[in-house]
Amino acid sequence: MHAGLVYAALAFVWWGLFPLYFRIVTTVPAPQILAHRVVWCLLFLAALLTSRRQWGWLRRVMGQPKVLAAFVASALLIGANWLAYIWAVSHGHVLEASLGYFITPLVNVLLGMTLLHERLRRAQWLALTIATCGVVWLTLQGGRPPWIALSLAISFGGYGLLRKIAVLGALEGLALETLLLAPLALLVLGIAALHGSASFPAPDALTNLWMIALGPITAVPLLLFAAGARRLSMATLGIEQYLGPSIQFVLGVWVFDEPFSAARFAGFACIWLALVIYTLDGWRRAARPAAPA
């Protein structure tokens, strides 16, 4: 369990620090960053799978259309999530991006209710109601719904739902998703090259290094997360997952100096209160002794 805590914490801290990385490559358009992220991540994972002689799963999956269709959907969702996040960080919306990942656990509850027909407990209904009030308040204050936060939460929530029922592990699943996204990524890079707007190879070696590093930077935290998830209860993992958006929030306010008024704080406070209620309810359920058989 102690190893699991460390693995999961490293993954969430890694994800929380992502804005620092994407601010380094702000000269590269978001679609090209996403394309490079897909290509270099695929190459990194392919090298890892080859070194482990772990390619047998691919032949099995290609013979199962339903499984393949599910991974096409999950690949599109994670691709949309990555693109929205990269764009948000590059355009000074780190706070709203952090809000998206604070909302994600509540979106998971909502997806479970609507798609898996799970029954919500009273505490979960209360948490969803308070979170909705927070989103409505932020909409009124900003003059528009927090589209970035909502798109991140919905895309990552949907991705998590599909991966929850997936037949492949984290390493193989991400490899298949990047393989499915690779044609679109290569198309984006090809169009950029034809128009003379390609950002890679760049004149300076450091930018090239940052782009190539997108492979391990994307894959390693996911593998750490998978290692942690196998060793921890869902309740403990649920608490640790707030490390990521909390770090993003701190970066947005104190490093990137994004505006954070008292009115906006009230909306975030509603989300945080909803998360406290949701988390305490999860703890209470996890601590309850199992019913005798």
Structure token digits, residue 15 = 């994800």
Mean predicted confidence (pLDDT) in 59-86: 91
Kindly tell me if the per-residue pLDDT of 118 is higher than 90: no
Q: What is the mean pLDDT of the chain?
A: 86
Choose between 222 and 254: higher pLDDT: 254
Span of 24-28, 94-98, 127-131 with lowest mean pLDDT: 24-28
d(C-alpha 35, C-alpha 184), whole Å: 8
Whole-angstrom distance, CA of residue 43 vs CA of residue 36: 10
For residue range 87-97, list pLDDT tens digits in order. Answer: 999 899 999 99
Cβ contacts of residue 22 below 8 Å, gap of 6+? Answer: 33, 85, 86, 89, 90
Question: In the structure, what pLDDT confidence band is assigned to residue 286 with cuts at 50, 70 and 90?
Answer: low
d(CA 62, CA 105): 32
pLDDT: is 54 or 1 the higher one? 54
- Per-residue pLDDT band for 35 (boundaries 50, 70, 90) equals very high
Q: Are the CB atoms for 221 and 173 separated by under 8 Å?
A: no
What are the structural domain ranges in the chain? 2-112+147-231+240-254
CA-based end-to-end distance of the chain: 27
CB 89 within 8 A of CB 37: no
Res 264 pLDDT > 90? no
pLDDT (mean) for 280-288: 75
142-164: pLDDT as tens digits: 778 889 999 999 998 888 888 77
Given a contact cutoff of 8 angstroms between Cβ atoms, the answer to whether 262 and 137 are in contact is no
Which helix (H) or strand (E) element contains residue 252?
none
pLDDT at residue 234 is higher than 70: no
What is the rounded distance in angstroms from the CA atom of residue 37 to the CA atom of residue 49?
A: 18
Distance CA 167, CA 245 (A): 28
More confident residue, 24 or 82: 82
CA distance 197 to 190: 10
Are 107 and 265 in contact, with CB atoms under 8 Å apart? no
Residue 33: is its pLDDT beyond 70?
Answer: yes
According to the model, what pLDDT value does residue 280 have?
A: 84
Asked whether the predicted pLDDT for residue 244 surpasses 60, the reply is yes
The confidence band for 293, taking pLDDT boundaries of 50, 70 and 90, is very low
Of the two residues 99 and 282, the one the predictor is more confident about is 99
